Amino acid sequence: MRSTDDLSTRARIRDAALKLFGEQGFGVGVRAIASAAGVSPGLVNHHFGSKDGLRRECDDHVRAVIRESKMSFMNRPSAGNMLQQLAEIEGFAPVIAYVMRSFQTGGEFAAVLFDHMVEDAETYLAAGIASGAIRRPHDLAATARYMAMANGGGLLLFLQVRTEADGAVDYRRALREYRDQMMLPALEVLTRGLLTDSSMLDALLADQAGGGVEPTERGSPDPSRAGDSAGASGTRSPNASDKEF
């Protein structure tokens, strides 16, 4: 069993590596990481075995941070919880920088990290269904993959166009801008949706089932969205059970 000092040192090395990987990329050396953590290079290898072992530890840590945030809302869905998390978004800067750097770099580590994040997304979507925060989608696993891809890809593009010529990104500022520009339309789409009837969804489901579908000008209104026109005019207050995925 490791001592408290060992655990503190391990976490300090991990946090230093996460920050440097996010800022400089995965070419940064063990010596630079050790210097940032205030330890010897040998101690890095003692705790993690290699730089790859350290990177896997960083991957596990960022997944845990994101999962904790998502599960916090899904288990206790409320406007107050959401607003508190949005107010603290800048604190996620090192984690987001690391994840974006991994996806930009690509390779096996990025692929494994993404697949694990999809698994995590399925877990917290299931928790949201259980708590009544969201509706059950037609295919939970497919929805989890779509959400991970859409959210991750959208954020990556948002940050990429804010990258300076020298590769620097002010992640704290960028996350504030992302919150201010993206959250309202994102929540509106998730809560109210965009399509006024289910014809295209019905057609796709029928086609995937192999039954084909007769073309129509307009399908039946989606019963789950009854009253959305009232909501659009401000007379209907969306609640947690209105969220669509």
Domain boundaries, the chain: 1-49, 56-187
Q: Identify the band that residue 2 occupies on the pLDDT scale cut at 50, 70 and 90.
A: very low
- For residues 132 and 240, give the distance between their C-alpha atoms in angstroms, rounded to a whole number: 7
Each residue's pLDDT tens digit, 68-127: 999 988 988 889 988 888 899 999 999 999 999 999 999 999 999 999 999 999 999 999
Q: Identify the band that residue 163 occupies on the pLDDT scale cut at 50, 70 and 90.
A: confident
Q: Which residue has the tokens 């891809």?
A: 149
Sign of the dihedral through C-alpha 180, 87, 67, 30 = positive
Tell me the average pLDDT of the chain.
85
**Percent of the chain having pLDDT more than 70?**
83
Burial of 15 (0-12, 13-18, 19+ CB in 10 A): middle
- For residues 151 and 88, give the distance between their C-alpha atoms in angstroms, rounded to a whole number: 19
- For residues 98 and 77, give the distance between their C-alpha atoms in angstroms, rounded to a whole number: 27
Provide the H-helix boundaries in the chain: 4-24, 30-37, 41-48, 51-75, 79-87, 93-105, 108-131, 140-160, 171-192, 199-208, 228-232
**Percent of the chain having pLDDT more than 90?**
71
Supply the pLDDT for residue 236. Answer: 39
Distances (CA, A) of 198 to 4, 74, 236: 57, 27, 21
Name the token pair of 124: 């917290």
The structural architecture, per CATH, of the domain 1-49 is Orthogonal Bundle (1.10)
> What mean pLDDT do residues 218-238 have?
48
- For residues 7 and 235, give the distance between their C-alpha atoms in angstroms, rounded to a whole number: 54
Amino acid residing at 177: E
Q: Name the CATH topology of 56-187.
A: Tetracycline Repressor; domain 2 (1.10.357)
Quote the Cα angle for 221-223-228, to 5°: 80
Name the token pair of 24: 């400089």
